[in-house]
Structure 1
Amino acid sequence: MSDVDERMVQVFREVLGREDVQLEDRTTAADVPGWDSLAHINIMYSLEAEFGVRFSDEQLTSFQDVGELRRFLASEAG
């Protein structure tokens, strides 16, 4: 698991309060219990803080799955 993956999983676990969260590239909100619209915003803001990036308003809701989000974070966070 890459550094980006580990950090992402930790953010998801902290925000959702679930240590059992596992993320795959194809994972979507529908696959993770507790990942609702409010949790999504909290996840995205927490990822911004963790990775030192800023999501545009459009990006906050446009990622199709965890893989697309991970690739963005990896490219932006260097």
Structure 2
Amino acid sequence: MNKEQILAKVTDIFKDVLDNDDIVLTDTTVATDVEDWDSLNHIQIIVAIEKSFKIKFTSTEIHHFKNVGELIGSIESKLS
């Protein structure tokens, strides 16, 4: 799975969790760029991503994601 496919799947997860079909994610997207992406929804998004991709993040990894690009990079490396 390439980066663009991962981003598309992650975008679908965000749309589903946040119930907003207008979300457009890029590598530089941060939580303040997306309406309703708060700490509670962040946990739900991470859990949904872990289930969808069948991967697990450590709490340290989750804490250090600065933007969607870093999240995508981590997913990509776990799938390799």
Which position in structure 1 is the counterpart of 2:11?
9
Residue 68 (structure 2) pairs with residue 69 (structure 1): no
| Distance apart, 1:2 and its partner CA | 1.9
Q: Aligned pair count? A: 78
Q: Which residues in structure 2 correspond to 1:1-78 (within 5 Å)?
A: 2-78=4-80
Percent same amino acid among aligned pairs?
A: 33
Superposition TM-score, scaled by structure 1 size: 0.93
> Secondary structure of the residue that 1:58 maps to in structure 2?
helix
Runs of 4+ residues deviating >2 angstroms: none
| Distance apart, 1:61 and its partner CA | 2.2
Gaps of 5+ in 1: none
Gaps of 5+ in 2: none
> Secondary structure of the residue that 1:27 maps to in structure 2?
coil
Distance 2:77 2:34 in 1: 25
Which stretch shows the higher mean deviation, 68-77 or 26-35? Answer: 68-77
